[in-house]
Chains A and B, each alone.
Chain A
Amino acid sequence: MIGTGILKGMAVTARNFVGSYFDKERLITIQYPEERNPLPENYRNFPFLIYDGDDPHAGLRCVACKICEKECPPQCIYIVKSDDKKPDYMGKPQFYPKVFDIDISVCMSCQICVEVCPFEAIKMDKEFELSKRERFDALLSRKEELSKSNDYYHKIHPLEAAAVDKNLADAAAVAEAKKKAAAEAAAKAAAAKAAATKPPPVGDAASVPGKPTPSSQQ
């Protein structure tokens, strides 16, 4: 009979309408901004810079190596390297960015800067309510706005941050062990030098903390 298909469809609509009062699964929208869905751990929006401790300048992990600037597909990062050096988290003197700008109106949140950074210095933020009234450079984030503490990182990505901290600690331990070994080797070499005229070669103590594997980040 003609019309039965339409009536069947109407029954579906009625079921969904009435059902939406009892079953949350049938609801389509939530009343943002009063109600909010929790963001998942892996959610990413725009990059920020991490500093350890309390001082954004002294603790900044970035060493201005410019790898992220080079790899960024839309070229939204601008870095100027410093003239002097400051000690990094392992006490090694390193350069730091004099200027670090990210134009988040150009950034496409692809996370490639995070993947290529060898120093765990840049990570993805979760803040997404970023609309501004000004038309031009309000969305150009400077170093001061981009620098956020490691505690903040732990708050927004707890699992990932824990993995990163473990990696950094491991790398520091490895570097420490290497330094010790190098010192021992140097001592040995000195001892050997005292005995013979030719010293054995000494291993290089320089080391860079390794990237965490993707599986350990999850």
Chain B
Amino acid sequence: MDATVQTIEAMERPPVTMASRLEGELLEVSMGPQHPSTHGVFRMNVALEGEIVRKLKPVFGYLHRNHEQIGEHTSYLGSMPYTDRLDYFCSMSNNWAYALSVEKLAGIEVPERAEYLRVILAELTRLQNHASLLGFLLSDMGAWGTPLMYAFREREKILDLFESLAGSRMMCDYMRFGGCRLDASDEWLARAKQIVDRFPEFLDEFEELILGNEIVIGRTQNVGKLSAELAISAGITGPMLRASGVNYDVRKVDAYGFYPRFKFRIPLGNHGDTYDRLMMRALEMRESVGILKQAFAQIQPGPIVNPKVKVRAFRPPAGEAYGRIEAPKGELGFYLISDGGPNPYRYRVRPPSFINLTVLEDLCLGHTVADVMVILGSVDIVMGEVDR
């Protein structure tokens, strides 16, 4: 059609998008997990040539809740329950990261038993996060139901532990500055130990179910390769970075908490593809079981909270602090600036899944639309943390 002639038919058409105008044959599709019960509400503008992805633009922000601004207007303690809602799968790790940065800011000591409890809860969180991630990834691939339900069955056992200790399955709000809120009874520790001891059985069964499966191998191997150079320059952390063969784990690098007291290895991938990222979770769960067994053997009775920390009118001295931990999804950090007042002057979250998502386009280019979902699943995102 001649571009200079304006027919009525042409005027009634929807406006031509940028991608299709510049590249002719490309078809722009809006896709993404839309239901809140999947990964969250997220949109990808994908430019397709046939079925091949030529361009991908992630669109965030549908779940933006002003987390950082709220943090600057509530007390230090008041931000603790909000951190549960960042990555709602791993509220215990979020609590720990926030407590760690405030403890750094105010120079607070943590009693020994509380440190052990924190390690136990963070590793239990890692177990349930990785288990449910494997289920979600399989469900993204089309294996609806079965693997996800098996993973959720195990996850529910750990969430029951959280509920009986902290009062809530997912919004635990358990840690406090200088310790933890409630003490774990011997009965609770025995039950947790029993669940952890039986966890490898589930891992064996789950690996038998999926990791040898030819369809899973066909869908994941050589899909979404991430080179070590790109991973480092993009600031990727967590299992995704280690799947590319970079040996970086904040538990080893920073040695926060009582992690230097435990013997564990860091699994590393070789190819950086989706299969390696999947395997990385399975291997990390085995290491976490090892850490948990050592922690259950070492934990001693004692106080769980530093009595010097005030619950009300808590004012850390002026200064700044950055506390970071190895959350199940990567490096989770809280950056705080205090001006000596009751609430932080600046409160900033470094969310692992947001930064891991920045390489999504590089991973997806040249793959089919069906692979995009698998790659997105293997990045392990939770939109509560991405959008904050």
Residues of A within 8 A of B (CB): 2-6, 8-9, 11-13, 15-16, 26, 28, 40-44, 67, 71, 73, 108-112, 115-116, 124, 211, 213-215, 217-218
Would B183 and A215 count as touching, CB distance under 8 A?
yes
Contacts of A112 in B (CB 8 A): 77-78, 80-81
Would A73 and B167 count as touching, CB distance under 8 A?
no
Stretch binding the partner chain, chosen from B19-27, B124-132, B148-156, B345-353: B148-156
Bound complex: CA of A44 vs CA of B84, how far in Å? 15
Contact of A42 among B75, B166, B171, B303 (CB under 8 A): B166
Would A41 and B171 count as touching, CB distance under 8 A?
no
Q: How far is the CB of B194 from chain A (nearest CB, A)?
A: 11
Q: Which residue of A lies closest to B312 (CB)?
A: A116
Given contacts A11-B208, A40-B160, 15 further A-B contacts (CB under 8 A): A5-B213, A8-B209, A9-B208, A13-B209, A44-B167, A71-B77, A71-B312, A73-B75, A73-B78, A110-B81, A112-B80, A116-B311, A124-B167, A211-B311, A215-B303
Q: Which of A3, A110, A116 has the most CB of B within 10 A?
A: A110
Known contacts A8-B208, A214-B305, A42 near B81 by CB under 8 Å: no
Q: Say whether chain B's binding surface is mostly helix, strand, loop, or mixed.
A: helix
Is B45 interfacial (CB-CB < 8 Å)? no
Q: Which residue of A lies closest to B216 (CB)?
A: A5
Known contacts A67-B312, A214-B304, A73 near B213 by CB under 8 Å: no
Q: How far is the CB of B124 from chain A (nearest CB, A)?
A: 16
Would A40 and B163 count as touching, CB distance under 8 A?
yes
**A interface footprint on B211-249 (CB within 8 Å = 1, 0 otherwise):** 011111100000000000000000000000000000000
Residues of B169-192 whose CB lies within 8 A of A = 171, 173, 180-185
Is B146 interfacial (CB-CB < 8 Å)? yes
Known contacts A42-B166, A42-B167, A71 near B209 by CB under 8 Å: no
Contact of B163 among A2, A6, A43, A211 (CB under 8 A): A43
Would B153 and A28 count as touching, CB distance under 8 A?
yes
Would A111 and B173 count as touching, CB distance under 8 A?
yes
